[in-house]
Structure 1
């Protein structure tokens, strides 16, 4: 404000006046654009005060330019440019244009702005008590907290203050327009009098010179004033819809494409009426028809977007309603899950043929057929912390296996010599830990010709997953899964189920027996036989291990079929009687099961003997099982399971009469 007052007092050179006039024009343009992009009057609450500053700044420039005009007979290049471009050689035309601008500003824009601001201020003040009561009601009902309610009250008060201030500030704009007219008259009258009386110019020359300068000065000040007047009208007529003027206008005008077609039809009709110019009307009609098509397409897209948004909102509401029921399940770990790196995400795409999802569905069916258990759906999620080509298999949130595959390569398994005639990435088959190599796709055909076993990336991860499920099957079988299994066969075995549960055994005891069977890879798909056996012996003992042995004996054909060859022969390794006697005499029963209590030297000797037999038979490529007496079968299996988990141990009672046995070795100390 001090600088503005200084402009009034201190004479300015013409060059500096040009710069300040351009600044004034730029400022008015910015103010207009700000009001167009403002979503709420509160975003530009300083506008009434800013009007005072812009008015004073513009008037100070008027006074500075008037001083130059009356003293030097010129007022800089900007005013001269406006005078020459607008008036040309006839300053009377400039005076008429200036008068029209002033009429528009005073009678239309300023007058209307003042009236709108006055009415808005009155209605805002009248509505304040009701709005404050609504805020208090929302606060009491819990829809708003104290901080939000205070902010809404402050915004309401600021809005009322704004419209009240605009009612008065519009008078600045009106007074500015009147002052501009008076200053133009002063320049137009005072300049010729001063210069003609002083003999510097003739009266005709003075009227022409100062007529142009006065109109140029008036236009330079009138145009920024008009822009600011328009800005005032825009901001006081803004609707409280929290969108910018452009978004509101486009939404209102482009809502109905049918209106464009009606207007286009009228224009085309006018174009063919004699006497009317054809090209302007026809061109505009075509443009309106094209605009209607674009608007209709945009309307369809917006409708579809709103429909999707509504569906998402309904789904969100549905989830919100279910939240109390699902809140506990939402943070529970899944029984079985696979986490993959971002490089493997395309393998999960359901749109491609034979995706990872399809493989998992196939694996669940195979497991159900081979082991007789129902695997719950496998959760697949991406993990940015994994290697891009890595994956991790988790059971109940804990990693049990991991691997790495390359979607654009193929895995080949090493042959007997262990040599790979290809360049690639050395690796181990994750399921069976065999030496392998990842080769490029162009080497696949050559590898087939050399009889290498070629495995696709999806097959690698699918085989690994199946192996993990087989190994950890007991962990994946819980009471819920057992209940589903029993409900599935209730139609054909309802009698034995009703007899067994809960009178003889509880569901958890049946679950333990089934887990014991799965721990040694015995399928439980013959549930009828298993339940019949448990019903028979469940009244005699509640020991899960003893009941498991009884069930194994009942499933002897199923067990023997796993290890017999096509000639119905099983290769067995016997346990020396002295070793059997030693193990039998050192069995300790605990609440968690039976365990061998042997000296560490004796355990090492037994494990060494098992290792020697296994090594000798592996050289001959002979598959075998260890055959023991029923009394020590389970304990002997526990004894060697830490070192030799893949060696099966069966008892004499688990070998049917029709199966032949061939002794291929003996475990002795």
Structure 2
């Protein structure tokens, strides 16, 4: 039988054997073996509780605790049967009753009571309270965690697989702490049962010894009561170990190492504290009447350990700060301060907790956002410089590109954003979701459960900021694509397709011209990941013309299927077309300008066209479609420039771009220009 199949039957068979132990007498040798197994198993559980990195890594603990408690109670029953029947329950219990407590009943009872008090009033009581609070807060925080996962998924910081994994972890954590809340009652009940069983054994053994065996009271106490105390001590030691394991599990937080490693690392970061403790121990030697040797040994050991500790990063920073000379107005320092960062996130002083090391995860989300932008748009998002700004109002953050504010928002400390209706009963102040402009309210974080019950979508502050930053980066991606970025992208393509790069630049186009084309694609939300196809199209077109508009349209035609697929829904592309007479009229109004081809038409006609397009787009969006305007290639770019101010989110595609796509084209309307002329 394989190890996997053996493990599947081990626990069920073990539970059945435990039940049998309660009704079938066992030989003393087997009792000794099972007691040793009980103590060793409890010690193993304590050690595993110390080595796990997070409570969920030992998710079987609540069930295991119940099985071990049942096993220990079965041992109590078996040992009690042997003690009362034969006056002997094995060498282990006999040793605890005579050798461990010196054969003194009073000493044994005192030790037993002390162990019960430690387990019941100290460890079990504390573990029960921690488990209860942990279960309550975990369940209360579960909806908020789910919303945070959904917010990260919608912001593109994680994919669907990672979101599903996080949701399962949140559910498992809630189930675990709920189970631990109930499992702590097993430990409490076990402590009470140990007291009752020992009292029953003491009274029963005393009566059996005097009534059935004809022993004197002292002989009955010597023979039966000491064995009962020994049985109680044998049971209390593993029970105490399991209580300690319960406390360790419910008080552990998720870390990168086991308990021993974390304790050593965290204590080792405070060398001065150890020095002060050692010095205080040596000072206690001066008190008259106190023994000198113990305090000398402990104080000396503490000072020696502090001296041998490795120098930590904090110690080095403190020493460097003390030894550093006064800063000078050096040229390098001034140039560094003058430098304008491409992308900057400025925080009001009360928002610094979003990025500090005490729980703020905004910087980790920014790193995830950089990866998401690279995979979606094909550009490497510049590092985000995060700093505090005293000029910003409290609870405000600002997103800057090249030192210029492009967006601002609010994220009041200690709150979450509840988006929805019927939030009047919740305290807080009104707020707005920065990306879609949805109305909401910033409510205290401890009321997020109530906000979720009211049907609102609850988003934490970091998710609000990172979603806003993602939208700003996407909307300004062309501004963030610098010349060096184009050089880096070109070098990457050259590693796999050297001929494509060598043919294009610098032979036909400069890096600046390539950058301008890529920026034009990003301006219309077209990813530039497929650089090989873009460069090939530019190489063919640049041999005939280096006009920017011509190059841009050639690149778009090469990416046509990918562009059309971005707006497709269920394999269908929802299109709005132009009436042929209107399209011919617009073609005749095309004029070249310094900024490219433009449509020179009167303002009234342009506004009427935009209004008609907007109406058709709203109708399509109500059906769940993403409409696009389709026109001739010669007209596409100029029409896009005309509509950019009125309908910035309206994509304009050409017939050449959708000609080779494998999508079903569904036309929902035709702009015929009749309304425009009448207007």
TM-score for both structures, normalised by structure 1: 0.53
> Contact (CA 8 Å) 2:348, 2:397: kept in 1 or not?
yes
| Contact 1:350–1:357 (8 Å) recurs in 2 | no
- Change in Cα spacing, 1:389 to 1:289, as seen in structure 2 (3 Å) is same
In 1, the alpha carbon distance for the partners of 2:636 and 2:508 equals 26
Q: 1:626 to 1:296 in 2, by over 3 A?
A: same
Cα gap change, 1:455 to 1:552, in 2 (>3 Å): same
1:584 and 2:584 equivalent?
A: no
Provide the rounded CA distance (Å) in 1 between the counterparts of 2:662 and 2:290: 99
Aligned counterpart in structure 2 of residue 483 of structure 1, from 480, 487, 494: 487
2:443 aligned with 1:439: yes
Q: Deviations over 1:370-414 (max 9, x none)?
A: 000001110001011212211000000000000001342222322
* Offset at residue 419 of structure 1 (A): 6.7
**Deviations 1:239-291 (CA, angstroms, capped at 9, x unpaired):** xxxxxxxxxxxxxxxxxx9xxx9xx9xxx9xxxxxxxxx99999999999999
Q: Which secondary structure state, in structure 2, belongs to the residue aligned with residue 632 of structure 1? A: helix
Instruction: Pick one of 459, 466, 472 that aligns with 2:463.
Output: 459
Q: Determine the structure 1 residue equivalent to 2:24.
A: none
Aligned mates of 1:522, 1:473 — CA distance in 2: 10
Please, which of 642, 650, 655 is the counterpart of residue 653 of structure 2?
650
Distance 1:632 1:341, change over 3 A: same
Match of residue 333 from structure 1 = 340
Q: CA deviation at 1:555?
A: 0.5
- Indicate how the Cα distance of structure 1 residues 300 and 324 shifts in structure 2: closer, same or farther if over 3 A, else same: farther
Aligned to 2:320: 311
| Distance of 2:322 and 2:452 partners within structure 1 | 54
Matched, 1:400 2:406: yes
Judged with a 3 Å threshold, the aligned counterparts in structure 2 of structure 1 residues 366 and 285 are, in CA distance, closer, same or farther, namely: closer
Change (3 A) 1:280 1:355: closer
- Cα distance between partner residues in 2 of 1:371 and 1:279: 73
Alignment pair present for 1:536 and 2:545: no
In the alignment, what sits opposite 2:632?
Answer: 629
**Contact 1:420-1:437 within 8 A present in 2 as well:** no
- Which of 550, 558, 578 is the matching residue for 1:575? 578
Cross-structure match for 1:596: 599
**Any stretches of 5+ residues in structure 1 without a counterpart?**
1-256, 269-277
* Equivalence map 1:4-43=2 (5 Å): none
1:506 maps to 510
Other structure's SS at 2:536 match: helix
Cα offset, 1:342, TM superposition: 1.3
- The alpha carbon displacement at 1:439 in A equals 2.6
Alignment match of 2:418 (pick from 393, 407, 412): 412
Alpha-carbon displacement from aligned partner over 1:309-349 (angstroms, at most 9, x marks no partner): 653488779x989x656653431210000100111101101
- CA deviation map 1:111-130 (0-9, x unaligned): xxxxxxxxxxxxxxxxxxxx
1:387 to 386, 393, 400: 393
**Partner SS, residue 631 of structure 1:** helix
Change (3 A) 1:576 1:341: same
For residues 178-233 of structure 1, the C-alpha deviation after alignment (integer angstroms, 9 at most, x for no partner) is xxxxxxxxxxxxxxxxxxxxxxxxxxxxxxxxxxxxxxxxxxxxxxxxxxxxxxxx
1:110-189 to 2 correspondence within 5 Å? none
Following the alignment from structure 1 to structure 2, what is the Cα–Cα distance between the partners of residues 286 and 378? 56
Question: Is the contact made by 2:569 and 2:625 (CA closer than 8 Å) also made in structure 1?
Answer: no
Q: In 2 relative to 1, CA 535–349 (structure 1 residues): closer, same or farther, beyond 3 Å?
A: same
Structure 2: distance between partners of 1:335 and 1:617: 38
Aligned partner of residue 497 in structure 2, secondary structure: helix
Match of 1:613 among 605, 613, 616: 616
Q: For residue 620 of structure 1, report the CA deviation from its aligned partner.
A: 4.2
In structure 2, the residue matched to 1:362 is 368
In 2 relative to 1, CA 284–589 (structure 1 residues): closer, same or farther, beyond 3 Å? same
Equivalent in the alignment of 1:375: 381
Is 1:472 equivalent to 2:472 in the alignment? Answer: no
Give per-residue Cα distances to partners, 1:70-125, cap 9 Å, x unaligned: xxxxxxxxxxxxxxxxxxxxxxxxxxxxxxxxxxxxxxxxxxxxxxxxxxxxxxxx
Closer/same/farther in 2, CA of residues 519 and 296 from structure 1, 3 Å limit = same
Structure 1 residues 308 and 451, CA gap change in structure 2 (3 angstroms): closer
- The structural deviation recorded for 1:591 is 2.9
1:558 counterpart residue number = 562
Q: Contact 2:560–2:661 (CA<8 Å) still a contact in 1?
A: no
- Secondary structure at the aligned position of 2:346 is classed as strand
Q: Report the structure number with the largest CA radius of gyration.
A: 1
What do residues 114-171 of structure 1 show as CA deviations (whole Å, max 9, x unaligned)? Answer: xxxxxxxxxxxxxxxxxxxxxxxxxxxxxxxxxxxxxxxxxxxxxxxxxxxxxxxxxx
Change (3 A) 1:279 1:404: closer
Partner-residue secondary structure (3-state), 1:437: strand
Could you tell me how far 1:508 is from its partner in structure 2?
A: 0.4
CA distance in structure 2 between the aligned counterparts of 1:343 and 1:364, rounded to whole angstroms: 25
TM-score of the superposition, structure 2-length normalised?
0.52
Residue 148 (structure 2) aligns with:
none
| Contact kept in structure 1, 2:423 and 2:451, CA below 8 Å | no
Unaligned runs of 5+ in 2: 1-274
Structure 1 residue 453 displacement after superposition = 2.2
Displacement of 1:593 in angstroms is 1.8
Ranges of 4+ aligned residues in structure 1 off by more than 4 Å: 278-301, 303-310, 312-317, 323-327, 418-421, 618-621
On the 8 A contact 1:637/1:649 being kept in 2, the answer is: yes
Q: Distance in 2 between matches of 1:480 and 1:625?
A: 34
The answer to whether structure 1 residue 640 and structure 2 residue 658 are counterparts is no
Q: Is the 8 A contact 2:342 2:480 kept in 1?
A: yes
Q: 1:343 to 1:325 in 2, by over 3 A?
A: closer
